[in-house]
Chains A and B, each alone.
Chain A
């Protein structure tokens, strides 16, 4: 497992791509900061497209988990190991500098038993390059000759097809929502508070919070009742907006999508999101 922040994650690109090609189970964390470049040291959410679509060369995919609390950070890293082991593929936990500097009480999951760890090691015994008798060579291969690389891609694509079952999403106050917030991580926390304030004023707001950013919960947006839902507010700390691409892809213009954004290390505030939401609500409701 490793972790870094934005520009440091760019340095990881080559390595992650190698791990994906060689089907190495690994977990890493990106605690996003302002970018691009060395950017700003303060928090941001500007690596969404890099994280979910193109973490390195070669078109590989990963499961990307997005916590919105310190407890989720703990739980998701723990789960990421299991997912990485299951798929023999890198898994990314995508968080941000606010999560990274937040302190909250947590309940730690139970430690794996010695037997579970031994079973994990046994599972990879054939593949681990630690020395094998003649004829049982283990080759950790981040590339291939002949038609070998295409076979790697075909196998990986088949694995990606199985990920629908791993889609996780939080649908907050969505039963009767007419205005839908789309946000992840710290933006989702802020949106949740704003939704409660809007509800107190009689506005039926709700939120779709992707928990897996990859695979993305397209159906949660695709299958909205657009007779009821009058508008979607995409809240992210990225200018230009990035998760909006996935929202637009699912919504296909069936209702207007508004953005409330900050970027470059500047933080969204409750007031800003509330104000932006109200301006949009005036237009569409």
Chain B
């Protein structure tokens, strides 16, 4: 009888024994897991630096084992610029939600992308503000209810959803842009591979990378985890299609 082998264990990128502060079904914890796994596979856990945004992403500070700081709301792009330029050999990533990256932080996000800063942006897009109680985000879908759009997002009053991967894809400097999700085991594996590729590019000094991860927010969507997966697939993926936008500096879309 063949000996049994452990084929899946918890990454060392997450504090041993820690239970995350994220809600049931939230993919923030999945993403923290795959970041740790990607860095571990590259042998880079000792070299990993995290710049956290403000919001639910902030709960990661009690979960990860790598060096980290919390940027002021929206300023992770600026803070990561400072860190990476002064420590070019460190593997630097920002971890931001849609409010942090696309609302209050829009200027820093686009400026860093436009300068082609050599760090990796992990952008968690759940179409809503989480930590602050479910207000409309730049990424909220038309018709989607939120605490500031109780009748559903209406374009005449509230504008249209913002597609950050597409917007950043208009800039010349960025090197790698991919949009993924974590709604199935296969997609989790794809997402981890995307992060690993982005990290690899960074280590090779190739330039700016962003992995946008379309996720659910069961709590603020008012859906249980399984129903929020349905909304994610039917509505969110329709608005934010998964795929590679740019790879190796070459536009794919």
| A interface list, Cβ under 8 A from B | 7, 38
| B interface list, Cβ under 8 A from A | 54, 70, 72-73
6 of the cross-chain contacts (CB-CB < 8 Å) are A7-B72, A7-B73, A38-B54, A38-B70, A38-B72, A38-B73
Per the bound structure, the CA–CA distance linking A38 and B53 in Å amounts to 11
Q: Note all chain A residues with C-beta closer than 8 A to B72.
A: 7, 38
6 closest residue pairs by CB, A with B:
A38-B70, A38-B54, A38-B72, A7-B72, A7-B73, A38-B73
Q: Note all chain B residues with C-beta closer than 8 A to A7.
A: 72-73
* Complex: chain A residue closest to B74, CB-CB: A11
Q: Note all chain A residues with C-beta closer than 8 A to B73.
A: 7, 38
Q: Note all chain B residues with C-beta closer than 8 A to A38.
A: 54, 70, 72-73
* Complex: chain A residue closest to B70, CB-CB: A38
Q: How far is the CB of B235 from chain A (nearest CB, A)?
A: 31
Q: How far is the CB of A30 from chain B (nearest CB, A)?
A: 17
Per the bound structure, the CA–CA distance linking A65 and B103 in Å amounts to 32
Per the bound structure, the CA–CA distance linking A212 and B73 in Å amounts to 31
* Complex: chain B residue closest to A8, CB-CB: B73
Q: Note all chain A residues with C-beta closer than 8 A to B70.
A: 38
Q: How far is the CB of A156 from chain B (nearest CB, A)?
A: 30
Per the bound structure, the CA–CA distance linking A38 and B131 in Å amounts to 14
Per the bound structure, the CA–CA distance linking A7 and B72 in Å amounts to 9
Q: How far is the CB of B105 from chain A (nearest CB, A)?
A: 12
Q: How far is the CB of A122 from chain B (nearest CB, A)?
A: 30
Per the bound structure, the CA–CA distance linking A7 and B54 in Å amounts to 12
Q: How far is the CB of B6 from chain A (nearest CB, A)?
A: 39
- The interface centre, meaning the residue of B54, B70, B72 with most chain A CB atoms within 10 A of its CB, is B72
* Complex: chain B residue closest to A10, CB-CB: B72
Per the bound structure, the CA–CA distance linking A7 and B104 in Å amounts to 14
Q: How far is the CB of A93 from chain B (nearest CB, A)?
A: 21
Q: How far is the CB of B73 from chain A (nearest CB, A)?
A: 8
Q: How far is the CB of A49 from chain B (nearest CB, A)?
A: 21
Per the bound structure, the CA–CA distance linking A38 and B69 in Å amounts to 12
Q: How far is the CB of B94 from chain A (nearest CB, A)?
A: 16
* Complex: chain A residue closest to B71, CB-CB: A38
Per the bound structure, the CA–CA distance linking A38 and B79 in Å amounts to 15
Q: How far is the CB of B86 from chain A (nearest CB, A)?
A: 21
Q: How far is the CB of A34 from chain B (nearest CB, A)?
A: 14
Per the bound structure, the CA–CA distance linking A38 and B73 in Å amounts to 9
Per the bound structure, the CA–CA distance linking A186 and B3 in Å amounts to 65
Q: How far is the CB of B106 from chain A (nearest CB, A)?
A: 15
Per the bound structure, the CA–CA distance linking A26 and B72 in Å amounts to 26
Q: Note all chain A residues with C-beta closer than 8 A to B54.
A: 38
Q: How far is the CB of B135 from chain A (nearest CB, A)?
A: 14
Q: How far is the CB of A15 from chain B (nearest CB, A)?
A: 14
Q: How far is the CB of B47 from chain A (nearest CB, A)?
A: 26
Per the bound structure, the CA–CA distance linking A7 and B75 in Å amounts to 14
* Complex: chain A residue closest to B58, CB-CB: A38
Per the bound structure, the CA–CA distance linking A7 and B73 in Å amounts to 10
